[in-house]
Amino acid sequence: MEREYKGETTRMNTIINSQKSIPPFPGGQRTVSQPSLAKLLDMLVAKDTKKTEQFLSSLISTGSDGRTILRDIFQPLFQQLAAYISTGQISQARANVASEIAFQMIRGVIDRYSPKGAFSCSKLAIGCIKGDAHDLGCRLVANSFEMAGWDVDYLGGDLDKTEFVQRVVEAEPDLVGISISNLIHVPALKELITELHNCEIADRFKIMVGGYPFSVNPTFAIEVGADFTARNAAEAVSKARRYVIRYTESAPIEVTTFVV
């Protein structure tokens, strides 16, 4: 099966390897400046929880809502943290500590701002391929869905194919999200999606995929059997609600990518 992806892997790796310079904090309209985000990231990497919490509070403007905080602060923060890991600027261990501190803070934001029960009929089950240590994007997407009021079952990255499918069947979700961070996991991803398509509740849910390989080649999402992706966590929520509402209708495939 791996030979099936050899040509695609070679081509995509060429593109990935050509991107040696990763710009700090991807652009776009934001209410938080890049220097402020850089300072916040430095505090996280230094594991200074108290100062990080204080500085984060100073960045949250009056009238901010939870989804804006995730979009303008945490999403670019995790994008840059992932860039630091991929370029070897910090160790995986230090990044893990920094991300855990950040996710603790996200939990506080969710507890404060999440519209509990607003979309209680919509449920997401989301996780990573087993062995994929890079789960920053997956967790942020899960948090974004929870912020939007979805019932979220975060499956993590420790489940093998059989366990993943079983958890999905037990959860009975409207949407299943799967994340991979590199091409090594593509064969396993396609096998998992095939199993999901063949499970007893396959007609109940749609499948969303994400991760860096799909940002390089967006159409790859359809090739592995998924229904859609999104450019970021906020768009993932927006598109997912549309797909879930219309999941019995035929609709044109929209392929974009969500990456953190």
> Domain 24-113 - what CATH class?
mainly alpha
Above 80 in pLDDT, residue 177? yes
Taking only the tens place, the pLDDT of each residue in 116-134 is: 544 456 899 999 998 887 7
How far, in Å, CA of 183 to CA of 60, rounded?
37
Q: Where in the chain is the domain with CATH 3.40.50.280?
A: 123-245
The sheet that has 151-156: what strands, in order across it? 151-156, 123-128, 175-179, 206-210
Q: Residue 121: its pLDDT value, please? A: 67
Q: Where in the chain is the domain with CATH 1.10.1240.10?
A: 24-113
**How do strand 175-179 and strand 206-210 relate by DSSP bridges?**
parallel
Above 80 in pLDDT, residue 29? no
Mean pLDDT of the region 198-217:
90
Q: Residue 31: its pLDDT value, please? A: 67
* Domain 123-245, CATH: 3.40.50.280
* 90 φ/ψ angles, rounded to the nearest 5 degrees: -140, 160
Annotate 75-142 with DSSP letters as a single string: HHHHHHHHHHHHTTSS-HHHHHHHHHHHHHHHHHHHHHH--TTTTTT-EEEEEE-TT----HHHHHHH
Mean pLDDT of the region 144-164:
92
Taking only the tens place, the pLDDT of each residue in 54-107 is: 998 888 876 778 888 888 899 888 888 888 887 888 888 888 899 899 999 998
Q: Residue 120: its pLDDT value, please? A: 53
Taking only the tens place, the pLDDT of each residue in 214-223 is: 877 778 888 9
Q: Residue 255: its pLDDT value, please? A: 40
11 or 110, which is more confident: 110
Q: Give percent above pLDDT 90 in the chain.
A: 31
